[in-house]
Amino acid sequence: MDGDDQGHWLIGRAEIDPGLRDRVADDYRRLARAGPPDRYHEWIAERYGLDLSTGFAGHRLSNPWAKASGQLSMNRQQVAEDIEAGLGYIVLKTVIAETGDGAQSMSAWSIREARMLVESITSRRGERGWTVSWKGRGWWGTFAEYLDLLAAAREDAASSQTLIVPSVKYHLPAPGESEWLVEEYEHTTQKLVEAWQTTDDSPMPLEKDFSPTLAGSGHARVRETVIEWLRRVPALIRGAVDGGRVVVGLKIFNALFDDEFQLALLRSIQEADGIEATDWWTYGNRLFDPRREFDGHRGIAYGGPDLSDRNLRVLSAFQAEVGPAMRPLAATGNINSGRMALEYALRGASSFQLHTFFQLPNERYALTGGTRTQKALHELYLHPEDGLVVWLEHLARRWGLAHDPLRFVDVVGRGRPDR
Ligand SMILES: Cc1cc2nc3c(=O)[nH]c(=O)nc-3n(C[C@H](O)[C@H](O)[C@H](O)COP(=O)(O)O)c2cc1C
């Protein structure tokens, strides 16, 4: 197996200049008490000679950190805090698509379920981590409320560099069905673009959430059905509005099938052409355990190290197949350190969508004041053993990368550092 026996490539301690290690450790401790500087990303970039900028959905981002879609991007206050914290982008909670008369084919996803439990979890190979147990699904407010949130978030982000990204669950025909409810695609996409364009008329990035509609199903016909979904959906979303007004991303789930099936999904994304092609893909949403229970409900999604192990394994195999031709990738799944983020980056990810790491118990973060997002960023950048700064420097030394400044994008998709 590659790297360590779990397939990780960044193992042990970062090999860097001891003076730099001390400086990082010093900043980590000092800022934990004093609080982060106002423009934290810029401060990090300047202090350590880094260029953190990256690309996403045709936009230039000042840094690769993003809020993944979910319970932490449900209202204006949450979004405003993340803009303040300078995230590269924020994916809003997934809304359930509807037609002009308010009908939702996926209405089963629109249920109110506020209770969440952040729990420690031990992975199959015995690593400890965190998962969020929850039995809810998509946005439970009205579509009009979602449009208001999108317009307000756009307005709040207008004077910042943070990009706002709506997320949608549209109709998908079940195995054996052939009809697509095109009107749901049309109405929902048109309304979202209208709300988006109250601020400016740039193309709207939209993430289509596939998870985990059939994640719990082991039915053989499901395989062809899912591949057909991935092929049809980008064209349906694009076709809903005038050319070029929407940029489409597909968020891919982890099915109960084997890795070979995941690879088949990724190949079909890679091979799609013209209007069927996705502009980016997000990989990979949480695992599903049909036996795991929460609040009297059996069969829930979970995360933690099992999730990143599986994602990294599949992405390594996919990268070995497609190399630098890989379509733009955003990573999600147990990104709990700068080191883990770079594991995904080496396999092609140019941005990182986090959920669980933004909701750990307060005592898990060194920063005493500030929002959860600020606390998390502090760990992600500056943790002396696991942070992005030390591991990016490790890679720069490994490959002799220029420091004028050291560019994050230069490690994206670069593959194993020990080869
Ligand atoms: C409580 C909770 C709610 C979520 N809701 C959504 C959602 O509405 N849409 C979506 O695409 N992903 C949703 N997710 C998945 C996250 O966006 C993320 O991709 C996943 O949890 C993996 O990242 P993490 O390990 O950092 O949590 C949710 C995750 C959690 C924990």
In order of their start, the domains of the chain are 18-411 (3.20.20.70)
If you measure from the C-alpha of residue 393 to the centroid of ligand 1, how many angstroms do you get, rounded to a whole number?
Answer: 30
Cα of 358 vs centre of ligand 1, distance in Å, is 11
Residue nearest to atom 10 of ligand 1 (CA): 69
Question: How many angstroms does the Cα of residue 46 sit away from the middle of ligand 1?
Answer: 32
- CA-nearest residue for atom 3, ligand 1, is 70
pLDDT attached to residue 219 = 62
Q: What is the 3-state secondary structure (H, E, C) of the chain?
A: CCCCCCCCCCCCCCCCCHHHHHHHHHHHHHHHHHCCCCCHHHHHHHHHCEECCEEECCEEECCCEEECCCCCCCCHHHHHHHHHCCCCEEEEEEEECCCCCCCCCCHHHCCCCCCCEEEEEECCCCCEEEEEECCCCCCCCCHHHHHHHHHHHHHHHCCCCCEEEEEEECCCCCCCCCCCCHHHHHHHHHHHHHHHCCCCCCCEEEEEECCCCCCCCCCCHHHHHHHHHHHHHHHHHHHCCCCCCEEEEEECCCCCCCHHHHHHHHHHHHHCCHHHCCCEEEECCCEEEEEEEECCEEEEEECCHHHHHHHHHHHHHHHHHHHHHCCCEEEECCCCCHHHHHHHHHCCEEEEEECHHHHCCHHHCCCCCCCHHHHHHHHHHHCCCCCHHHHHHHHHHHHCCCCCCEEHHHHCCCCCCCC
Among 65, 96, 281, 286, say which to mutate for ligand 1: greatest number of ligand atoms within 8 Å of CB. 286
Residue 40 has what pLDDT?
97
The pLDDT value given to residue 1 = 42
For the chain, 419 residues long, the average pLDDT of each consecutive 10-residue run is 71 97 98 94 98 96 98 97 98 96 84 86 96 89 97 98 97 89 97 96 95 59 88 97 95 91 96 96 94 88 96 97 97 98 98 98 96 97 98 98 96 93
